[in-house]
A and B are shown apart, each in its own frame.
Chain A
């Protein structure tokens, strides 16, 4: 669709004037980008509250903010933080004001959970956010219909289903597969999109569809309680395995890891993430009932949410932060530190803690993964501020 024809000739001229002038054009974008900062801040607040809840779940002796702080750990991380950030990213891409309703609703919904308001308020807002998020994908699909957009939209649908199930009375452990579906399908859809540059063969697309289809079918079965739900988890696990294998085989990170700088950094994060997705797939496939034990539940979830998802977030931050906020986040070699800490701590948590039953290893590993996230935030903010000062000094 032609941008000018969509907005009309006069709007087109106005837009050119806005972006064309040497000073005003940049100022225009600078004005837009900080307006997104409060939305991102909502996500970060949710992240910090979610991390606190995570520490409580690890059994550390810390004050409880609210009676629901620990229980809300998962929704705050998956929807409050990542839902806000991902929907903000899509709204920025689409460039329609209404698209920002999604991150706003997700962020405020998370705040409602943190504040301890009746759960229906927060979850209804999270549900509203998912609806707007899906509308964004609908518009993207109209502009440029493609399989990868459909996969990402399926991720958005998982977000919607998770909120509807919760509002319908399901517990967090029952909706967790859908939260994983939201993030896995969103990320894997993005990877499919980029993999096009390597000219995907029909067999590779078939392999992707098979894995994605199995994962989606498994998720659907988890909504049926009892034995069928266990089969659903196993089928979804097989789908995760297939998607991880697809990523290892076809993701362009295999090629871009040979390059340097931020490109290699991103590739490292991606490939490390696929390794954890394999672990998650195996765990889901073998377990069936994710609630069989605390250790199993911990491993099955955090292999996905920390190993796969957070590793991807770390990798994409140097690109997404400048794109969304208009601030520079130049890659620095020490970015590898928080990535290495995340993966090492997760190994300790899942292997020493969950698999071998060592509580200290579980707690130290768990706290280590949270430290990695906090370190990531601190390093990102410090690097962005330093880059800003450096640019101001040069000017």
Chain B
């Protein structure tokens, strides 16, 4: 196992297409305070799928934010409800720390970035 922030997902083999679809499904998970989904906010660092198992590396906007368990539970709920996977591994990390630059261009524009 590589000792890097993405080590969880690297345990699994590639499954890019399916992973991409599941990543899109994670747009159902909304940050209630901002009203924006966690993918657009850049809170999902990585998602890989292998053998009907999904591994997700996600973050919160700050280590002082208590929403880690909530985001983890919501990611699991959405992935399992998709029927595409039987198991979901979620890990919350703060390495690297989230920055607003990680948001999607559309989200940045919505928040007034020029």
| Interface: B4 (CB within 8 A) | yes
Q: In the complex, A255→B34 CA distance in Å?
A: 9
| Interface size, chain A (Cβ < 8 Å) | 55
- Asked if B64 is an interface residue, CB under 8 A from chain A, the answer is yes
> CB within 8 A of A144: which of B33, B73, B94?
B94
B73, A89: Cβ atoms closer than 8 Å: no
Q: A215 vs B107: C-alpha distance in the bound complex, in angstroms?
A: 33
> How many contacting A-B pairs (Cβ < 8 A)?
143
Counting CB contacts under 8 A, is A291 at the interface? no
Contact, CB under 8 Å: B97 / A256: no
Taking CB atoms, residues of chain A closer than 8 Å to B95 are: 1-3
Q: Does B27 contact A (CB under 8 A)?
A: no
Q: Which residue on B lies nearest to A136, using beta carbons?
A: B64
Given contacts A1-B95, A3-B93, contact A199 B61 (CB under 8 A): no
Given contacts A22-B86, A143-B97, A326-B69, A199 and B62 within 8 Å (CB-CB): no
> Is there an interface contact between B94 and A29, defined as CB atoms closer than 8 Å?
no
Assess whether A198 is in contact with B64, with CB atoms less than 8 Å apart: no
- A255-B91 contact given A22-B80, A319-B32, CB 8 Å threshold: no
State which of B80, B92, B111 has its C-beta within 8 Å of the C-beta of A255: B111
Specify which of B64, B72, B91, B107 is in contact with A140 (CB 8 Å cutoff): B64
- A323 touching B69 by the CB < 8 A rule? yes
Chain B: interface residue count, which band?
Answer: 35 or more
Question: When the two chains form their complex, are residues A93 and B90 in contact, meaning their CB atoms are under 8 A apart?
Answer: no
Determine the chain B residues whose CB is within 8 A of the CB of A144 once the complex forms: 62-63, 94, 97
Partner of A322, one of B70, B90, B113: B70
Cβ–Cβ < 8 Å partners of A22 in chain B? 76, 80, 86-88
Tell me if A302 is interfacial: C-beta within 8 Å of chain B: no
Contact status of A146 and B88, CB under 8 A, knowing A93-B68, A194-B34, A255-B112: no
Q: Which residues of B1-51 have CB atoms within 8 Å of chain A's CB atoms?
A: 1, 3-5, 7-8, 32-35, 41
Q: Is the CB of B35 within 8 A of A256?
A: yes
Q: Which of B62, B63, B73, B91 contacts A16 (CB 8 A)?
A: B91
Q: A266 is contacted by which of B33, B86, B97, B111 (Cβ under 8 Å)? A: B33
Which 4 pairs of residues, A with B, have the shortest CB-CB distance? A263-B35, A20-B89, A259-B35, A93-B66
Q: What are 18 of the A-B contact pairs (CB < 8 Å)? A: A2-B93, A3-B91, A4-B1, A19-B72, A20-B53, A93-B63, A194-B33, A197-B100, A199-B108, A199-B112, A259-B35, A263-B32, A263-B33, A263-B34, A318-B32, A319-B32, A319-B67, A324-B66
* A interface, CB within 8 angstroms of B: 1-5, 9, 12, 15-16, 19-22, 25-26, 29, 32-33, 89-90, 92-95, 137, 139-140, 143-144, 146, 148-149, 152, 190, 193-194, 196-199, 252, 255-256, 259, 261-263, 266, 318-320, 322-324, 326
Which residues of B are in contact with A by a Cβ distance under 8 Å? 1, 3-5, 7-8, 32-35, 41, 53, 60-70, 72-73, 76, 80, 86-95, 97, 99-100, 103, 107-108, 110-113
